[in-house]
Amino acid sequence: MPDVSPIWINTIRNKRYNLFNGTTTMNAVEIYKYLIEKFDKVDVSTDADFQEAYRKFFKTTLGPDRQITRKAGQMWHKLYFELLQSLKGKSELSIEKEIENFYTRQQEEKLNAKFEMSFISKALHMVDHNLPIWDRNIRATLLGLTHDPLTRIQDEDQRIQEARRYYDLIKDRIQAAIKTDKTKDKNSQIITQFRVAFPTEEKGITDVKVMDFYYWITYKLLPKKPKKIR
């Protein structure tokens, strides 16, 4: 695993306004609260409203690199939401078994069965809100990675092994960030800013998810590469 380090953006830290006071952020928080509240109340493998909100919020739409038909894409999402439903109330060992079954079923349906840490981490987060999400926002702002280091790994076992290592690193980094945040002056605390903007009990939105929202906003403020002029 290459040496990685978090990116801290001073211009963002020095903002005098609350980072969470944006319409886009407010909408995202409301959708997230809707998902975690509805997750335990409905059968997510069949509930169309939940699935639509989940797909838009977590962006679990298959990319063009999959090169699959619309019918195959619909089958993939069917299997994914069945996985999500099956994970409810399961132990860590059972969760791993269900994920294994998910990829086995993809192979049976002749779908692209490549292990996708992003999709899996989002499913795991719905079961345990203290588990972080692996996506480009986190990779860029917390690890300083501008690309997914897993995509170039062809061997599936090695890909999963590296995914575990990076995921453990993400968990450690977020816990360290939470610990550091709580030692700051309250006016500078990220988590306190969020709680002021969105009063909520700890069981509703965890500190881990608060930091995820923070990294999501931070990623949007990162300077993007200028487009080449032809």
208 has pLDDT over 60: yes
Q: Which of 13-17, 105-109, 152-156, 171-175 has the lowest mean pLDDT?
A: 13-17
CA 74 – CA 89 distance, rounded (Å):
26
How large is the average pLDDT for residues 63-72?
A: 62
pLDDT at position 200 = 66
pLDDT at position 195 = 86
pLDDT at position 19 = 58
How large is the average pLDDT for residues 16-22?
A: 54
pLDDT at position 125 = 94
Q: Which of 66-75, 180-189, 203-212 has the lowest mean pLDDT?
A: 66-75
Structure tokens at 174: 């977020």
CA 78 – CA 94 distance, rounded (Å):
20
pLDDT at position 202 = 57
pLDDT at position 47 = 96
221 has pLDDT over 90: no
Residue 172 burial by Cβ neighbours in a 10 Å radius (0-12, 13-18, 19+): exposed
Which is nearest to 127 in space by CA: 174, 175, 95, 166? 95
CA 82 – CA 99 distance, rounded (Å):
11
Which is nearest to 20 in space by CA: 219, 220, 198? 198
pLDDT at position 227 = 44
- DSSP for 133-183? --SHHHHHHHS--SS-TTTT--SHHHHHHHHHHHHHHHHHHHHHHHHHHTT
CA 121 – CA 132 distance, rounded (Å):
7
105 has pLDDT over 70: yes
Which is nearest to 101 in space by CA: 90, 158, 125? 90
- Across the chain, mean pLDDT equals 80
Beta-carbon contacts of residue 196 (< 8 Å; ≥ 6 apart) = 18
pLDDT band at 20 (very low <50, low <70, confident <90, very high): low
Cα angle vertex 93, ends 86, 46, to 5°?
A: 5
Q: What is the share, in percent, of the chain residues with pLDDT greater than 70?
A: 79
228 has pLDDT over 70: no
pLDDT at position 149 = 86
pLDDT at position 95 = 83
pTM assigned to the model = 0.81
pLDDT at position 5 = 33
pLDDT band at 65 (very low <50, low <70, confident <90, very high): very low
Hey, how many other C-beta atoms are within 10 angstroms of the C-beta on 44?
24
Check if the beta carbon of residue 125 is closer than 8 Å to that of residue 132: yes
155 has pLDDT over 70: yes
